[in-house]
Amino acid sequence: MIIKSLNALGVYGNATLNSVDLALLTTDGLDVQQFIKTQTVHYPEDLCVDIRSILSRRSWNYDELRNNPEVQKIREKISLFYAEAIREFAVAEKVDCYGIDGLTIFSNPDEKCSYQLEDGRVLADALSSNIITHFHRADLLSGGQAAPLCPAFINALGQQTDKPALYIIIDAVSSLIYLGQSGELNAFDCAPGTAMIEDWTFRHANMQTDYNGKLAITGKADMQIIKQLLRHKILKKTPPKTLDVMCFSEKKEHLEGLMLEDGAATATAFIAEAIYQSAFDFLPKIPANLYIGGEGCKNPTLMRFIKQNFAPRTVLPITDTFPTLTAFGAQSTAFNTVRRLYGLPITYPTTTGAFEPMSGGEIYEKI
């Protein structure tokens, strides 16, 4: 197979509960030749309500999600929304391939299943194009945890930076990616992410999120609640491991009774503490340089808490080093899309626990 550079369009719905990111870049799956453009498209209010109606239930199993008519309607609705966003984003652009990684609302690696809110068949039909999606499934079937899916992308970018280096990607959930001095690549989901803050602000103030961390900075974090949350079994589990946005659903009641600002401060501080604890518990070492990517780096209060925890190490937004990484998840998805076409791995034994390096992504062909 001849490997050539392609213009890949990536869609990432797992960054937040409120919007979807799109990115167009040129890559051969080994390096990125050009970052062309990115865009964030906010969900309409009714679609936000639909998503939260699914998440408001404390627990689902895979069959319930797959067979629930309301969930299927919402899944189709989101897929059609993605298709329209893609059409508008790609006007007058040359696009060779499309990859979509939707919001993961359920993950159970022990039963080799996960559930994302996108439908490849609906997308392929709506766009009259081949679509690559469900990047998680091949890894699950190979004994992996199905996430995180960005390490191959970070590994490609990280060749330009000093090592060892730690990348903290904070989207709906948070992940750690460690690049070692001798080429080691370790990764795992480590903590809740922005979805926890968004859930609090939406339920208590009808706000989509804590914009610029303004609520959290004026509130007081309850350290007793944070200590209780840090005992969650998923945080104590040895990697590889994955989280979904519902992992901490049963812990919501710990925050109830707090004032709006204090609840935002407690959720934000907990995310920072959980990331810090996971890094020290499970990584070979904590490097001098840490880079924050994803939605989390847009929250100054969360960044402040993380910097305090990891002091005196240097903590920087990933965009300080890579200014074009303005939609990290979507750009990573675009990169993985091309790797799928060329049969290159996107997950590894040291990132998800798969038996061997695995390519991933299912191709839905246009009819």
pLDDT at residue 58 in the model: 65
284 located within any domain = yes
Which of 246-255, 279-288, 301-310 has the weakest average pLDDT? 246-255
Give the CA distances from residue 97 to residues 26, 256, 312, 340, in Å, rounded to whole numbers and listed in that order: 11, 45, 43, 11
353 located within any domain = yes
Looking at the fold, whether 246 and 309 belong to one and the same domain comes out as yes
Most distant CA pair in the chain: distance in Å? Answer: 60
How do residues 147-192 score in pLDDT, each as one tens digit? 999 999 999 998 878 899 999 999 999 999 999 998 899 999 999 9
CATH number for position 85:
3.30.420.40
User: Which string of b and e fits 184-202 if b means at least 16 CB within 10 Å?
Assistant: ebbbbbbbbbbbbbbbbbb
Looking at the fold, whether 111 and 189 belong to one and the same domain comes out as no
59 located within any domain = yes
Looking at the fold, whether 169 and 317 belong to one and the same domain comes out as yes
**What's the rounded Cα separation, in Å, for the pair 295 and 304?**
14
Looking at the fold, whether 310 and 336 belong to one and the same domain comes out as no
132 located within any domain = yes
Looking at the fold, whether 293 and 163 belong to one and the same domain comes out as yes
1 located within any domain = no
Residues with Cβ within 8 Å of 213's Cβ and at least 6 positions away in sequence, in order, are 264, 268, 299, 300, 301, 302, 304
Q: Quote the percentage of the chain above a pLDDT of 90.
A: 87
Looking at the fold, whether 301 and 352 belong to one and the same domain comes out as no
Looking at the fold, whether 214 and 122 belong to one and the same domain comes out as no
The pLDDT-based confidence of 332 (bands split at 50, 70, 90) is very high
How do residues 100-122 score in pLDDT, each as one tens digit? 999 998 889 999 999 999 999 99
204 located within any domain = yes
Residue 88: how many CB atoms within 10 A of its CB? 11
pTM exceeding the 0.75 threshold for the entire prediction: yes
Cα 85 to chain centroid, rounded = 19
Q: Which two tokens stand for residue 84?
A: 């329209």
168 located within any domain = yes
Locate the DSSP E strands across the chain: 6-12, 19-27, 32-42, 97-101, 104-108, 113-116, 131-133, 165-170, 173-179, 185-192, 289-293, 314-317, 362-364
pLDDT at residue 209 in the model: 93
86 and 323 in contact (C-beta within 8 Å)? no
265 and 221 in contact (C-beta within 8 Å)? yes
Looking at the fold, whether 211 and 294 belong to one and the same domain comes out as yes
Range(s) of the domain holding residue 203:
151-321
Looking at the fold, whether 28 and 176 belong to one and the same domain comes out as no
Looking at the fold, whether 155 and 304 belong to one and the same domain comes out as yes
Instruction: Give the number of C-alpha atoms closer than 13 A to the C-alpha of residue 188, restricted to the C-beta side.
Output: 25
How do residues 220-272 score in pLDDT, each as one tens digit? 999 999 999 999 999 999 999 999 888 887 777 889 999 999 999 999 999 99
16 and 47 in contact (C-beta within 8 Å)? no
Looking at the fold, whether 156 and 30 belong to one and the same domain comes out as no
62 located within any domain = yes
Looking at the fold, whether 225 and 305 belong to one and the same domain comes out as yes
What's the structural domain count of the chain?
A: 2
